[in-house]
Amino acid sequence: MLFFGCRNRNFSPLQRRSLAKFGSLMLLAVVMLTVAHEAAEHSTVSKSMVMVLDLLPAFPIMLMIRVVSQYLTQETDEFIRLLVMRSLLWGIGTTMVADIALSAVAHDPRALHFAVVYNIDVFTVTAMIALSLQLRRAQ
């Protein structure tokens, strides 16, 4: 959905550029989380190395926040900015609700890894759906 948005001609160059950066960083975070999980589960790397690998995905996530922040600062269309803000709130809210629901059913510590990947997916998909619906309503 994110990569489709990067090619959407209805989006401004700023929106396409921001989506491309956001999507790449999200992919990087998911890959890093998977590598950290695999290292902890199957390899013989030291505990300190596992801790470093566990912390590394925080960097692309912080960069994702920076990309969104830069986009909101540079977006000159105040109505679109409002729609993006609302979509982000939907994404954050849905992720929190999903987390609460997941914590009620998943007591296995291994589920934590999937919860983080799942968080990124739920947030992105919900925010993109909310933005698409709002843009459709505004047609």
Which residues are at the interface with another protein (CB under 8 A)?
A: 76-80, 82-83, 135, 138-139
* 43 neighbors 103 (Cβ within 8 angstroms): no
Nearest approach, Cβ of residue 72 and another protein (Å): 15
Nearest approach, Cβ of residue 21 and another protein (Å): 21
Nearest approach, Cβ of residue 6 and another protein (Å): 18
Nearest approach, Cβ of residue 96 and another protein (Å): 27
Q: Which is nearer to another protein, 86 or 113 (CB)?
A: 86
Which letter, b or e, does each residue of 60-99 get, where b requires 16 or more Cβ atoms within 10 Å of its Cβ?
A: bbebbeebbeebeeebeeeebeebbeebbebbeebbeebe
Alpha carbons 70 and 29: distance in angstroms, whole number: 19
Q: Which is nearer to another protein, 50 or 80 (CB)?
A: 80
Alpha carbons 11 and 54: distance in angstroms, whole number: 35
Q: Which is nearer to another protein, 41 or 77 (CB)?
A: 77
Q: Which is nearer to another protein, 12 or 43 (CB)?
A: 12
Query: Which tokens go with 13?
Result: 């160059």
